[in-house]
């Protein structure tokens, strides 16, 4: 939306479209005056000693400080009401077609753009953890919880062939790495604990899925 067009009519036009008028302004000030008199907790709410009609009223930014509002001329709105008015008075966005260049910076895309092919071109893990063969929903007596041997390690590269994952085993996997064949889920590393290490102490032998 063009902000210049939105504000072309000036403050009066915006006030009229938003349903804000002099009556509402006066009511707003009167409400706060009344509240100040009734406030009784050992201190008083600050209260203006002048009437709204006695105060300089101008929204012209070129006017000097002595001609500007000393308080907001607009009533207080709830966030929901403010958003409602914004939606009501904001014109529909204009859809245009332009070439893909740096001039697009700052624009909002009007429709989804789909990749011509999958990127990456394989089933990739989005977390560090363990690739598993999760049982089908409703399978009795099967669960991904328990202690499992770590059969292989999958890193984030597409080189080499991955051995198919066998039932009852898991594969350590890094973010972005391809899932081994047969694996259909990944358990986050945060949801596991180390159960045992290999004899040389360098690798995981078994891991418990919590």
Q: How many CB atoms lie within 10 A of CB 132?
A: 22
For the domain bounded by 129-209, which CATH number is listed?
2.170.190.11
Domain spans of the chain, in order of start: 3-104, 129-209
Residue 110 three-state SS? coil
The DSSP symbol for 38 reads: H
- Decide if pLDDT at 29 tops 60: no
- Decide if pLDDT at 32 tops 60: no
Percent of the chain with pLDDT over 70: 61
- In angstroms, rounded to a whole number, what is the distance separating the alpha carbons of residues 180 and 161? 9
Q: What is the pLDDT of residue 113?
A: 86
- Decide if pLDDT at 48 tops 50: yes
Q: What is the pLDDT of residue 69?
A: 63
Q: What is the pLDDT of residue 118?
A: 83
The lowest-confidence range among 10-24, 26-40, 89-103 is 26-40
The DSSP symbol for 203 reads: S
- Decide if pLDDT at 37 tops 50: no
Question: pLDDT tens-digit profile of 135-161?
Answer: 877 666 567 889 999 988 877 665 667
Could you write out the DSSP letters of every residue in 4-17?
HHHTTTHHHHHHHH
- In angstroms, rounded to a whole number, what is the distance separating the alpha carbons of residues 25 and 72? 9
Q: What is the pLDDT of residue 139?
A: 62
Q: Which of 51-60, 79-88, 137-146, 147-156 has the highest mean pLDDT?
A: 79-88
Non-local (6+) Cβ contacts of 168 within 8 A are 148, 149
- pTM of the entire structure? 0.46
Tokens of 145: 């919880």
**Residue 146 — left, alpha, or beta (φ > 0 → left; ψ -120 to 50 → alpha)?**
left
State the chain's mean pLDDT as an integer: 77
Tokens of 113: 């753009």
Q: What is the pLDDT of residue 55?
A: 54
Asked if 192 and 209 touch (Cβ cutoff 8 Å), the reply is: yes
Q: Which helix (H) or strand (E) holds 31?
A: helix 22-38
CA distances to 21, 22, 52, 180, 183 from 28, rounded to whole Å, are 11, 10, 10, 67, 65
């Amino acid at each position: 939306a063009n902000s210049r067009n939105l504000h072309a009519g000036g403050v009066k036009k915006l006030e009229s479209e938003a349903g804000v008028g002099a009556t509402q302004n006066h009511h707003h000030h009167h409400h706060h005056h009344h509240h100040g008199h009734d406030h009784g907790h050992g201190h008083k709410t600050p209260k203006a000693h002048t009437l709204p009609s006695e105060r300089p009223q101008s929204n012209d930014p070129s006017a000097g400080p002595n001609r500007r509002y000393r308080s907001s001329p607009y009533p207080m709105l709830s966030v929901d009401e403010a958003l409602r008015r914004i939606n009501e008075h904001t014109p529909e966005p204009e859809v245009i077609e332009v070439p893909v260049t740096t001039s697009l910076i700052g624009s909002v895309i009007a429709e989804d753009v789909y990749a011509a092919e999958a990127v990456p071109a394989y089933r990739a893990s989005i977390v560090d953890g363990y690739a598993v063969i999760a049982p089908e929903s409703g399978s009795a007596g099967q669960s991904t919880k328990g202690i499992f041997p770590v059969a292989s390690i999958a890193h984030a590269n597409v080189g080499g062939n991955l051995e198919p994952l066998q039932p009852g085993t898991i594969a350590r996997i890094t973010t972005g790495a391809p899932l081994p064949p047969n694996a259909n889920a990944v358990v986050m590393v945060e949801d596991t604990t180390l159960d045992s290490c290999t004899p040389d102490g360098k690798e995981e032998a078994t891991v418990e899925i919590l």
